[in-house]
A and B are shown apart, each in its own frame.
Chain A
Amino acid sequence: MTEKDSRRIFYFMSLNLTFMMIQAFYGYVTDSLGLLSDSVHMFFDCVALAVGLFAAVASKWPPSERFPYGFGKIETLSGFGNGVFLILISVEIMTEACERIWEGRETKRLGELFVVSTLGLLVNLVGMMAFGHHHHGHGHDHGHSHGGHDHSHGCNGHGHGHDEKHDHSHGGHSHGHSHDNENMHGIYLHVLADTLGSAAVIVSTILTHFWKWSGWDPLASFLIAVLILLSSLPLVKSSARRLLLTIPPEIEYNLRNTLSGITGLRGVVGYAAPKFWIDDRNAGEATPANKLLGVMHVVAARGADMEDVRDRVRNYLLGHNIDVTLQVEREGDTSCWCGVGRSPLSASHRVTHSTSIF
Chain B
Amino acid sequence: MATDDGLASGDSDAQAPKNPFNFQTQFISTGPVKSHQIFQEPPPRPPPVLPASLPIPTFKEAWASMQRDQRARLCWCCCHAAVAMYVFFSAEGSLAMTALSHLVFFDVGSAAVCVAVDVLGNFEVWRRSSIRHPFGLQRAEVLAGFAMSVFLVFGGSISSRTTSSTFSRPSASTPRTTRPPRTSPTITAAAAATPTPARYVSPGTVDFASLAAVVSTLVSAYGLRNHSRIRRVMRVPFPYLASLLPGAGILANPFHFLTLCFSFLLLLLPLVSLAHFVWLDAVICAAIAASMFILGTRLAVAQGLMLLMSYSGLPTTTTISSSSTNPSSKSKPFPSSSSSSFSAATTTTTAATTTTTTVSSVVRELESEPHVARVEEAQFWQVHYGLAMANLKVRLARGTGSGGSDDGTLSQVRARLARVVQNRLGEGYGRGGNLRWEVTVQTCSDG
Chain A residues near B360: list those with CB within 8 A: 65
Interface residues in A315-338 by Cβ distance below 8 A to B read 325-330, 333, 335-338
* Interface residue A12 (Cβ < 8 Å from any Cβ of B): no
How many Å lie between the Cα of A247 and that of B307 in the bound state? Answer: 16
* B444 and A310 contacting across the interface, CB-CB below 8 Å: yes
* Minimum distance in angstroms from A244 CB to a CB of chain B: 5
Interface residues in A156-179 by Cβ distance below 8 A to B read none
Q: Which of A74, A225, A264 has the most CB of B within 10 A?
A: A264
* A200 and B308 contacting across the interface, CB-CB below 8 Å: no
Q: Contact mask A62-76 → B, CB, 8 Å, 1/0?
A: 000111110101100
* B414 and A96 contacting across the interface, CB-CB below 8 Å: no
* B151 and A353 contacting across the interface, CB-CB below 8 Å: no
* A73 and B177 contacting across the interface, CB-CB below 8 Å: no
* Interface residue B404 (Cβ < 8 Å from any Cβ of A): yes
In the complex where A65-B360, A69-B381, A345-B49 touch, is A109 in contact with B131 (Cβ < 8 A)?
no
* Minimum distance in angstroms from B171 CB to a CB of chain A: 11
* A109 and B178 contacting across the interface, CB-CB below 8 Å: yes
* Interface residue A181 (Cβ < 8 Å from any Cβ of B): no
Interface residues in A182-218 by Cβ distance below 8 A to B read 193-194, 197-198, 200-201, 217
* Interface residue A303 (Cβ < 8 Å from any Cβ of B): yes
How many Å lie between the Cα of A275 and that of B129 in the bound state? Answer: 8
* Interface residue B219 (Cβ < 8 Å from any Cβ of A): no
In the complex where A194-B184, A333-B411 touch, is A73 in contact with B309 (Cβ < 8 A)?
yes
How many Å lie between the Cα of A310 and that of B445 in the bound state? Answer: 12
Stretch of B139-147, B198-206, B226-234 that contacts chain A: B139-147
* Interface residue B354 (Cβ < 8 Å from any Cβ of A): no
Q: Tell me which of A34, A197, A295 contacts B389 (CB under 8 A).
A: A295
Q: Which of A67, A120, A247, A275 has the most CB of B within 10 A?
A: A275
* Interface residue A99 (Cβ < 8 Å from any Cβ of B): yes
Chain A residues near B154: list those with CB within 8 A: 85, 88-89
* Minimum distance in angstroms from B158 CB to a CB of chain A: 7
* A81 and B300 contacting across the interface, CB-CB below 8 Å: yes
Q: Tell me which of B307, B313, B440 contacts A327 (CB under 8 A).
A: B440
* Interface residue B34 (Cβ < 8 Å from any Cβ of A): no
Chain B residues near A65: list those with CB within 8 A: 358-360, 378, 380
Closest B-chain residue to A37, C-beta based? B165
- Interface SS, A side: helix
* Minimum distance in angstroms from B64 CB to a CB of chain A: 24
Stretch of B1-9, B114-122, B366-374 that contacts chain A: B1-9
* A37 and B161 contacting across the interface, CB-CB below 8 Å: yes
Chain A residues near B7: list those with CB within 8 A: 266, 357
Interface residues in B143-190 by Cβ distance below 8 A to A read 143, 146-147, 150-151, 153-154, 157-158, 160-161, 164-165, 168-169, 177-190
Interface residues in A265-316 by Cβ distance below 8 A to B read 265-266, 270-277, 294-297, 303, 305-307, 310
* Minimum distance in angstroms from A349 CB to a CB of chain B: 3
* Interface residue B311 (Cβ < 8 Å from any Cβ of A): yes
Stretch of B40-48, B73-81, B240-248 that contacts chain A: B40-48
* Interface residue A263 (Cβ < 8 Å from any Cβ of B): yes
In the complex where A92-B158, A310-B442, A335-B415 touch, is A200 in contact with B185 (Cβ < 8 A)?
yes
* A66 and B359 contacting across the interface, CB-CB below 8 Å: yes
* A117 and B181 contacting across the interface, CB-CB below 8 Å: yes
* Minimum distance in angstroms from A36 CB to a CB of chain B: 5
In the complex where A92-B186, A244-B143 touch, is A271 in contact with B49 (Cβ < 8 A)?
yes
* B183 and A194 contacting across the interface, CB-CB below 8 Å: yes
Chain B residues near A266: list those with CB within 8 A: 3-4, 7
Chain A residues near B153: list those with CB within 8 A: 85
In the complex where A335-B415, A349-B46 touch, is A326 in contact with B442 (Cβ < 8 A)?
yes
Closest B-chain residue to A110, C-beta based? B181
* A84 and B192 contacting across the interface, CB-CB below 8 Å: no
Closest B-chain residue to A200, C-beta based? B185
Closest B-chain residue to A69, C-beta based? B309
In the complex where A244-B143, A246-B132, A256-B48 touch, is A36 in contact with B380 (Cβ < 8 A)?
no
In the complex where A263-B45, A264-B8 touch, is A93 in contact with B188 (Cβ < 8 A)?
yes
Stretch of A100-108, A128-136, A139-147 that contacts chain B: A100-108
How many A-B contacts are there with CB distance less than 8 Å? 291
Chain A residues near B140: list those with CB within 8 A: 240, 244
* Interface residue B355 (Cβ < 8 Å from any Cβ of A): no
* B183 and A198 contacting across the interface, CB-CB below 8 Å: yes
* Interface residue B347 (Cβ < 8 Å from any Cβ of A): no
* Interface residue B393 (Cβ < 8 Å from any Cβ of A): yes
Chain A residues near B445: list those with CB within 8 A: 307
How many Å lie between the Cα of A114 and that of B12 in the bound state? Answer: 83
Q: Contact mask A86-128 → B, CB, 8 Å, 1/0?
A: 0011001100110110000111110011101101110010000
* B161 and A41 contacting across the interface, CB-CB below 8 Å: yes
In the complex where A68-B310, A71-B308 touch, is A356 in contact with B181 (Cβ < 8 A)?
no
* B179 and A277 contacting across the interface, CB-CB below 8 Å: no
How many Å lie between the Cα of A112 and that of B178 in the bound state? Answer: 11
Closest A-chain residue to B195, C-beta based? A105
Chain A residues near B184: list those with CB within 8 A: 41, 120, 193-194, 197-198, 201
* B307 and A73 contacting across the interface, CB-CB below 8 Å: yes
* Interface residue A230 (Cβ < 8 Å from any Cβ of B): no
* B379 and A255 contacting across the interface, CB-CB below 8 Å: no
In the complex where A69-B309, A252-B131, A346-B49 touch, is A329 in contact with B411 (Cβ < 8 A)?
yes
* Interface residue A352 (Cβ < 8 Å from any Cβ of B): yes
* B404 and A303 contacting across the interface, CB-CB below 8 Å: yes
How many Å lie between the Cα of A194 and that of B44 in the bound state? Answer: 61
* Minimum distance in angstroms from B388 CB to a CB of chain A: 12
Q: Tell me which of A106, A197, A263, A325 contacts B186 (CB under 8 A).
A: A197
Q: A interface vs B, CB < 8 Å?
A: 27, 33-38, 40-42, 44, 65-69, 71, 73-74, 77, 80-81, 84-85, 88-89, 92-93, 96-97, 99-100, 105-109, 112-114, 116-117, 119-121, 124, 193-194, 197-198, 200-201, 217, 220-221, 224-225, 240, 243-247, 249, 252, 255-256, 259-260, 263-266, 270-277, 294-297, 303, 305-307, 310, 325-330, 333, 335-338, 345-346, 348-349, 352-353, 355-357
What are the 5 A-B residue pairs with the smallest beta carbon separation, nearest first? A120-B183, A349-B46, A113-B181, A34-B181, A197-B184
Sampled A-B contacts (15; CB under 8 Å) = A36-B164, A40-B165, A41-B183, A65-B378, A92-B186, A97-B185, A100-B188, A114-B181, A116-B182, A244-B137, A259-B48, A295-B438, A328-B442, A329-B411, A349-B47
Given contacts A108-B179, A197-B183, A263-B46, 11 further A-B contacts (CB under 8 A): A38-B187, A67-B308, A80-B146, A106-B177, A198-B184, A243-B143, A266-B3, A266-B7, A275-B135, A307-B444, A330-B410
